[in-house]
A and B are shown apart, each in its own frame.
Chain A
Amino acid sequence: MLFILPAILYLLIFLIIPIGTAIVISLTKYSILSKPQFIGLKNYIRVFSMPTFWNSLQVTGIYVVSRLSGILILSFFMALAINQNLIGSKFFQAVYFMPYVFPLAVTSIIWKLFYQPFGLIEQFTNMLGLEPIFWLTSIDTALLGITITTVWSAAGYYSLIILAGLQTIPRDVLEAAEIDGAGNVRRFFHIILPFLKPTIFFILVVGTINSIRGFPPFLIMTGGGPGNATRVIGLMIYEYGFVHLKMGIGSAMSVVLLAIILTITLIQKKMMSKGGEV
């Protein structure tokens, strides 16, 4: 019993109390300078009537969808290639995975430099004969620029999960399909994909949550700009809490985000257990 005590204290002080505090503070007007003042649901009404809040949800949504599509396509290919046991597949696996161990702050700083005029990216687009693109300073490409960075940083990691899934497909099933004359495309869609359903599902859920959580690239590379083009929800909460010092509104947004994340997780649980029955 005594052994669990530190854990209980930790959970209480650093998780349960903050979550409770978030809910309480979200019902007050509070900046560090003044005492909290109870104002009921006003913060929530404010938050939901803010165009910037809806914009941030929209930006977050676009980011999550495009990042996950990029990751799925790339990591699927990586996993299939590694699974073929090509020459040097161990080497490929290590190379693809490597950026994942870099601090995300460092990856973001470095890619910001890559996107600079005359930086690494422009050197390559020049070679392809393209006009210079103002990646992070243009409304049209800033989100794409960050997405490319975070796909680069995580695709290798997700390919491991897919690889683990691929290796659960029984060899004889694939061989039987080959003998029956099923082509590559048909094998992919009719055997590999159905077998990987749980894996893909897991990636979608974990990837969604991780993408919503990971706002350091936005903070470092664009600071939410240009305009509000890359102001994702995590960054908004951070700004309200620690830049504008409006703890009440920041907490209300945190509670909304928490609700969104828990809903996603619950839907996952439901669908996972359903998938288990089939």
Chain B
Amino acid sequence: MSIIKNKNTAKAIKTGILLIIASLLAAIFIVPMVYILTSSFKSVENIFTVPIKWLPEKLHLENFSEPFINKNFGRYFLNSTFIAGTVTGATLFFSSLAGYSLSKFDYKFRDSLFILILITMMVPIETTIVPLAIVIRKLGMMNNYWGLILPVILSPFAIFWMRQFMITLPDAYSEAGRIDGLGEFQIFWKLILPLCKPAIGALAIFTFMGNWNSLIWPMIVATSDSLRTLPVGLVAFEGEFFTPFNQLFAMSVLAILPTFILFMILRQKLITGMAMVGIKG
């Protein structure tokens, strides 16, 4: 009896210690986030004070509006939304098409094509930015929306992802469609796509987040201010000589907000999806 009791107390102590360490660790993650949020409402003088002032003395809401007036942040937001939105839509469409073709049709170079996709999946864009920039310049797409969108409009990973999902679907659906006299595109659009909702949903989140967060490629292509995306605009803002840090914090909060909201709503989906994906877009 007493052994069991001891064991239970030992277990309770163990759980307690684990809980304390887990909470301390959580604090390392929460405290900076709280600091970012409160700093975005502070006056410039109140940001770096000793000792730290956790709460703003007065809510400086103009931190959120002034960068929209004095800087081009409204434009940056529109650009980020437009680019991430367009790329996500296009990626979903083209990768489903390609995935459908790779999984349900048989043609000569299909398998070699799939191997090629697997290989290109391992090539990170960072190793191709220099030549990619040369190609884009040759195509006359430097410093315009085409250059920002086209090179990321699809990804080998997206094709792979859709193919892997569609290959699990039984062929009976397409055959039923053919018997009913539907065209191949109608079969794809009306019968196959609705079955792919879970795969498409996860892919949509990754693609949107990846593009919303993307920095290097937009920074290379967008040489004029009006083409900058939010991360690029923020980096430029930070690089100025006299950056008002309170406004920088405020804009950072706004940049985090969309992905943060997405995360809060789709947390469980995102977490399981990310665990499956392995590599961040």
Contact = CB atoms under 8 A, between A and B. Distances in A.
A109 B234 contact: yes
Contacts of B36: 110
Contact of B129 (A13, A106, A163, A241): A241
Contacts of B69: none
The 3 closest A-B pairs by CB, nearest first: A7-B98, A241-B130, A21-B131
A81 to B, nearest CB: 4
Contact of B127 (A1, A20, A261): A261
Interface in B214-240: 215-216, 220, 230-232, 234-235, 238
Given A10-B153, A93-B271, A157-B274, A1 B107 contact: yes
A189 interface: no
Interface residues of A, number: 90
Contacts, number: 237
Given A96-B26, A101-B209, A152-B28, A4 B131 contact: no
Given A25-B130, A101-B209, A119-B48, A4 B260 contact: no
Interface string B249-263: 100100110011011
A77 B21 contact: yes
Contacts of A255: 127
B81 interface: no
Contact of A103 (B31, B50, B120, B212): B212
Contacts of B124: 209, 212-213, 261
Which secondary structure characterizes the binding site on chain A?
helix
Given A96-B29, A241-B133, A254-B131, A10 B94 contact: yes
B8 to A, nearest CB: 14
A113 B249 contact: yes
B131 A116 contact: no
Interface string A86-110: 1101011111111111111110011
B123 to A, nearest CB: 7
Report the interface size class on chain B: 35 or more
Given A104-B215, A213-B124, A261-B127, A110 B48 contact: no
B35 A7 contact: no
Interface string B94-133: 1101101110010100000100110010111011111111
A105 B213 contact: yes
B256 A103 contact: yes
Contact of B252 (A94, A110, A164, A237): A110
Given A1-B107, A96-B26, 5 more contacts: A20-B131, A86-B18, A95-B29, A104-B213, A152-B32
Contacts of B231: 103, 105-106
A202 B26 contact: no
Contacts of A74: 25
Interface string A1-40: 1011011101101111111111001000000100000000
Interface in A160-215: 160-161, 163-164, 202, 206, 209-210, 212-213, 215
